[in-house]
Chains A and B, each alone.
Chain A
Amino acid sequence: MSIGSDIAALFAEVAQEQHKTMAPLSDELGLLETGLDSLCFAIIVARLEDRLEVDPFSAEDEIDFPVTVGDFIRLYEHAAASAAH
């Protein structure tokens, strides 16, 4: 499984737990248009930290805050790749 598909599955998992109706995901979809709110993203980020052992938001490097789903996935792909080195 790729990080991208893991993240998509996690979005769906949290949306279901939080009783949110999620828009069909695409790379270009804005995070604010996914139907998920900030609590959902807080939970997603926490679970990703547990699963991937990275938290790009709290890393020392300055990051561009993700705007789209694609940005969000790339942020984690990049963080996971850096952590692996």
Chain B
Amino acid sequence: MPQPLPRTEQSSLWQSLSFAGRLSRRWLSDPDARVSLAALSRGSSLGRRLDELRGRSVLLWARDQLPAALALIELDGIARRIVLCPPDISSSHLPGVIATAGVDAVVGDRAAAELGGDIFVPCGASITPGAPNREAREVTEWVLLTSGTTGVPKLVRHTLATLSGAMAAARPLGHGAVWSTFYDMRRYGGLQIFLRAMLGGGSMVLSSALEPVGNFLARAGGLGVSHISGTPSHWRRALMSAAAGRIAPRYVRLSGEIADQAILDHLRAAFPGADVAHAFASTEAGVAFDVGDGFAGFPASYLGRRGDVEMRVADGSLRIKSGRTALGYLGDGAPPLCDADGFVDTGDMVELSDGRYHFVGRRGGVINIGGQKVHPEEIEAVINRHPDVQMSLVRARKNPITGAIVVADVVVTSEHAPLDALKGEILDACRGTLARYKVPAAIRFVPAIEVAASGKLARING
């Protein structure tokens, strides 16, 4: 049966997800509740106050994902602007965000008197019966927050059309699929999965920041998750959990960090029935491409492709131009998002070898060792290839001779060789592949490596 095309160009999120059909068999769930999409056609998660939010600039400030997801469905086409606050936003940054975005209404699941805004509308996972007027009169601007290097969030402007641009091209979306992600759905990576579920006729299992990863996997497995995404760090942590065996997905997706060959191989072994794909996307550049051939990096031929997305490499970094690119940054004096030709510089550095481009790291994450530039990610990729290594973090250590040297923190799998021998094997692998200044001067075995709320390794030197 042919699938309906998402009609996001013309329609609100509610209209598009309704168009995908089967509302009574589709749902959103979190650890505490499960809400049928059909319930939203007979009521509202915003009490009876949806109409008050028409034309407003709304700060969506929910602690939990389910109330945020329900409110988003209701607000697109109604609000003029929705600012999606990730739950970990620092309260010191909120006033700036509110001022920049001209927020005049707050929708939240906790008291927010101190946030200001003309009105406050509580949101939640319970549906108040009624017949909300869902007539869409706005092309709502969706504002996502990213952390700049200074920690002050940048406000990135999208619309439903730019956010869902990749989905018309990426079919089948999996009608009836149960989607899930380790990401928070208010971040770009999580929002992509949420929109795939809603526009593609599926359901979604939402994660919770407070839920241990094993519980999340067991819950997602119990709900029959079929499509699931996360960063490579999310996945490395998930594979450490015995509960990884509780899910049996058909589609496993990685994004947000470099997918090295080791994590792709581990996922293929752990989920033999699944297509494993890694995607390149960023909040600013949008979704650029998916790679489904099982190998790290992407074919160089992608650069010559015609279609929705144009890519080029300049000064070593990947540049992207597409209709999925953000509209710009919000705020007076915000820098332009694109160059004069409409390309976004992703800041992700690539190197060509054997007809494939490989991501080597972030431009801003370079470690300088006596004038030699090192990307920590390329060293981690080598360390992670050792079968006894679960994950690793390479960082700079200050050094009076060379300015810095590289050192590595390593988490081992539950069954591993004696640590002294393992250290020797890891160093041998590094020496066999890497220039000598890239070989870690010290390896420290640690019980865990911090993963930030963004799902990415918490890097302190870059």
Is B369 a contact of A58 with CB atoms below 8 Å?
no
Are B399 and A50 in touch, CB under 8 angstroms?
no
Q: Which of B399, B405, B436, B437 has the most CB of A within 10 A?
A: B399
- In the assembled complex, the CB of B367 is this many whole angstroms from the nearest CB of chain A, namely 12
B370 touching A46, Cβ below 8 Å: no
Given A38-B401, A39-B370, A55-B400, do A46 and B441 touch, yes or no (CB 8 Å)?
yes
Q: Which of B399, B427, B437 contacts A45 (CB 8 A)?
A: B399
CB of A45 within 8 A of CB of B401, answer yes
Q: Tell me if A39 and B400 are in contact (CB < 8 A).
A: no
In the complex, what residues of B have CB within 8 A of residue A50's CB? 442
Asked if A57 contacts B398 (CB within 8 A), the reply is: no
CB of B48 within 8 Å of the partner chain: no
User: Closest chain B residue to A44 by CB distance?
Assistant: B401
In the complex, are the beta carbons of A18 and B436 less than 8 A apart? yes
Q: Is the CB of B398 within 8 A of A42?
A: no
A8 contacts partner chain B, Cβ-Cβ < 8 Å: no
Query: In the complex, which residues of chain B have a beta carbon less than 8 angstroms from the beta carbon of A58?
Result: 398, 400
Per-residue CB contact flags for chain A residues 22-63 toward chain B (1 = under 8 Å, else 0) read 000000000000000011011101110010000101100000
CA distance A41 to B436 in the complex (A): 13
A57 with B436, Cβ < 8 A, contacts A42-B441, A47-B442 known = no
**Contact of A38 (CB < 8 Å), options: B370, B397, B407, B441:** B370
Q: How far is the CB of A39 from chain B (nearest CB, A)?
A: 5
Say if the beta carbon of B24 comes within 8 Å of chain A.
Answer: no
Interface residue count for B (Cβ, 8 Å)? 15
1/0 contact string of B400-418 vs chain A (CB within 8 Å): 1110010100000000000
Chain B residues whose C-beta falls within 8 Å of the C-beta of A18 in the assembled complex: 436
Residues A42 and B402 in contact in the complex (CB < 8 Å), given A47-B442, A50-B442: yes
User: In the complex, A17 Cα to B397 Cα: how many Å?
Assistant: 19
Chain A residues closer than 8 Å to B405, beta-carbon distance = 39, 42-43, 46
Chain B residues whose CB sits within 8 angstroms of the CB of A38 once the complex forms: 370, 401-402
Which residue of A is nearest B398, CB measured?
Answer: A58
Contacting residues of chain B (403-462) with chain A, CB-CB under 8 angstroms: 405, 407, 427, 436-437, 441-442
Residue from the list B427, B437, B442 in contact with A39, Cβ < 8 A:
B437
The answer to whether B401 touches A41, judged by C-beta atoms less than 8 angstroms apart, is: yes
Query: For B400, what are the chain A residues with a Cβ–Cβ distance below 8 Å?
Result: 45, 55, 57-58
Can you name the residue of chain A whose Cβ is closest to the Cβ of B404? A42
CB contact between B397 and one of A39, A41, A46, A57 (< 8 Å): that residue: A46
| CB <8 Å contact, B442 and A57 | no
> Using Cβ atoms and an 8 Å threshold, which residues of chain B touch A46?
397, 399, 405, 407, 441-442
Chain B residues 20 to 44 lying within 8 A of chain A, measured CB to CB, are none
CB–CB A42/B436 < 8 A: no
Give the shortest distance, in Å, between A75 (CB) and chain B (any CB): 11
Closest CB of chain A to B350's CB: distance in Å?
A: 26
Point out the residues of chain A lying under 8 angstroms from B442, CB to CB: 46-47, 50
Measured in the bound complex, the distance between the Cα atoms of B308 and A6 in whole Å is 63
A41 to B403, CA, bound (A): 12
Distance (whole angstroms) from the CB of B59 to the closest CB of chain A: 46
Q: Which residue of B lies closest to A59 (CB)?
A: B400
Query: Whole-angstrom distance from the CB of A43 to the nearest CB of chain B?
Result: 4
How far apart sit A43 and B442, CA to CA, in the bound complex (Å)?
8
Q: Which residues of B contact A47 (CB under 8 A)?
A: 441-442
The answer for the CA separation of A32 and B436 in the assembled complex, in Å, is: 19
Q: What's the least CB distance linking A60 to chain B, in Å?
A: 13
CA distance A31 to B104 in the complex (A): 67
B441 touches A43 (CB 8 A): yes
Q: What A residues does B441 contact at CB under 8 A? A: 42-43, 46-47
Contacting A at CB under 8 A, from B360-374, are: 369-370
Q: Please name all residues of chain B whose beta carbon is closer than 8 Å to the beta carbon of A39 when the two chains form the complex.
A: 369-370, 402, 405, 436-437
Q: How far is the CB of B180 from chain A (nearest CB, A)?
A: 43
Q: Which chain B positions have C-beta within 8 A of A17?
A: 427
In the complex, what residues of B have CB within 8 A of residue A42's CB? 369-370, 399, 401-402, 405, 441
Complex CA gap A47/B407 in Å reads 11
Residue of B401, B405, B407, B436 with highest tally of chain A CB at under 10 A: B401
A58–B294 alpha-carbon span in the complex (Å): 47
CA distance A50 to B441 in the complex (A): 12
Q: What is the interface of chain B, defined by CB distance below 8 A to chain A?
A: 369-370, 397-402, 405, 407, 427, 436-437, 441-442
- Can you give 15 contacting A-B residue pairs, CB < 8 Å? A17-B427, A18-B436, A39-B370, A39-B436, A39-B437, A41-B401, A42-B370, A42-B405, A45-B399, A45-B401, A46-B405, A46-B407, A46-B441, A50-B442, A57-B400
**Contacts A42-B399, A46-B399 known; 18 new A-B pairs at CB < 8 A:** A17-B427, A18-B436, A38-B370, A38-B402, A39-B436, A41-B401, A42-B370, A42-B402, A43-B405, A45-B400, A46-B397, A46-B405, A46-B441, A55-B400, A57-B400, A57-B401, A58-B398, A58-B400
Q: Interface on A for B, CB 8 Å cutoff?
A: 17-18, 38-39, 41-43, 45-47, 50, 55, 57-58
Sorted nearest first, the 3 A-B pairs with minimum C-beta distance are A57-B400, A42-B401, A42-B402
